[in-house]
Amino acid sequence: MRFPLEIVLCLSLTAAVLLPTSRAHAVPGDEQAYSGSLFSPPTPLPKAGAFYVEPYLYVGSPIGQFGSQGDYHPLPGVQRSVSSLIILKYGITNRISVYITPQVQYSWQRSATPSGLKFTDLSFVLQGVALDRQSRLWPGSWQHSTLTVDLGMNFPTGSYDRLSRPQDGSGSGVYSFRYGLTDQTGFKFGHMRPFRVRLWATGIQPVTSASLNGQSVYGTSTGFSGRAHAEAFGNFGGSVEFSLTRHLVFALDMIRDWSSGSHVQGRQILQTAPAAQNLSFNTPAEDEGLAAPAIEYNWNASTSILGGVGLTLSGRDTTRQVIGTLAFEHTF
């Protein structure tokens, strides 16, 4: 099984240099501010008691399908979706924060009824800065590096079985442990504009199985009863943020999203058979590569907006998507 791309990306774990907001930052010797690249998740707040809000809006449109060998086939008339995620974060100390990510989604397709609003799985994450180091390279040049560790849980609040259509699913049905590690370094070389580089890796390991009835996100159909054992999934990637002006920044994410698949077993009632039949199968492991250019604009150290487009470049056993994204962030 593979979870919706925007959920995985927004629940992936990354870090920023200690910021006046969660991502906007005035580095030593410079007044540059950043809001973070398009698919960067929340980062630790630098002040105890600070509260951070960032609503996201996603519009996703699958345009094709990658086969098991990476071959590509267009998919006309497929289901499209709109989702909204809100990151709510609180600073426990100046190095440790906690956040949740409630999200709803809505999907539709030509010649079919819409899905209606559905909640996705809910993520709860504790994150802390493990390393924060600044160094002067030479006069007028410096670098600032941080290392962040994230630990948390995903809770199965989304719909995953008893679906009218399999594509209406919005969750996994399992509790999952999540962990991540991020390295970020900001650079300033002489008279060049400052820029930042991020590298991260995230893993999410299901710790329970899901009880299934009928159509589900795991590929079962009406008349099925059994369980699904989801395997690990996650992503790794990097981003670069180039400052164009004090307020304007160009950002680029390059991400690899992966899933180990799932094992499904149970009994299937068939209209052509007198009794239920035993059924057992594995869903395929999947992976995809995504590029996401974006533009950031920071009004001040507390408020910014960013927008851009994510595009699946390659993959195996997954859909190719175009995902338009807009986000606004503010720290109180």
Give per-residue pLDDT as tens, 262-291.
Answer: 999 999 988 776 777 899 999 999 999 999
Give me the pLDDT at residue 229, please.
96
**Nearest-angstrom CA–CA distance, 126 and 92:** 10
- Ramachandran region of residue 180, left (φ > 0), alpha (ψ -120 to 50) or beta? beta
Torsion of CA 176, 53, 288, 313, to 10 degrees: 180
Rounded CA gap, 108 and 4, in Å? 15
Q: Assess whether pLDDT exceeds 80 at residue 322.
A: yes
* pLDDT above 70: residue 29: no
Q: List the structure tokens of 67.
A: 């086969």
Place of tokens 């039949």: 277
Name the residue among 285, 209, 324 with its Cα closest to residue 2: 285
Number of domains in the chain: 1
Q: How confident is the model at residue 15 (pLDDT cuts 50, 70, 90)?
A: very low
146: closest CA among 128, 119, 162, 126?
128
Please state the pTM of the whole predicted model: 0.84
- Residue 238, helix vs strand vs coil: strand
Distance of CA 180 to the CA centre of its chain: 12
pLDDT at 112 (0 to 100): 66
Q: Is pLDDT of 309 > 80?
A: yes
Quick: pLDDT tens for 183-208.
Answer: 989 998 988 899 999 999 999 999 99
* Domain region containing 225: 5-331
Residue 41 confidence class, pLDDT cut points 50, 70, 90: confident
Higher-scoring residue by pLDDT: 286, 32: 286
Highest mean pLDDT among 29-43, 109-123, 296-310: 296-310
The mean per-residue pLDDT over the stretch 116-135 comes to 92
Q: Identify the top-confidence range among 2-6, 27-31, 252-256.
A: 252-256
Detail the DSSP E strand segments found in the chain: 51-66, 72-74, 80-91, 96-100, 103-108, 118-119, 122-138, 141-155, 176-188, 195-206, 210-213, 224-230, 233-243, 248-259, 262-268, 277-283, 286-298, 303-316, 318-331
Share of the chain above pLDDT 70, in %: 89
Is 186:27 a contact under the CB 8 Å cutoff? yes
CA torsion through residues 176, 61, 321, 11, sign: negative
What pLDDT score does 117 carry? 84
- pLDDT given at position 42: 74
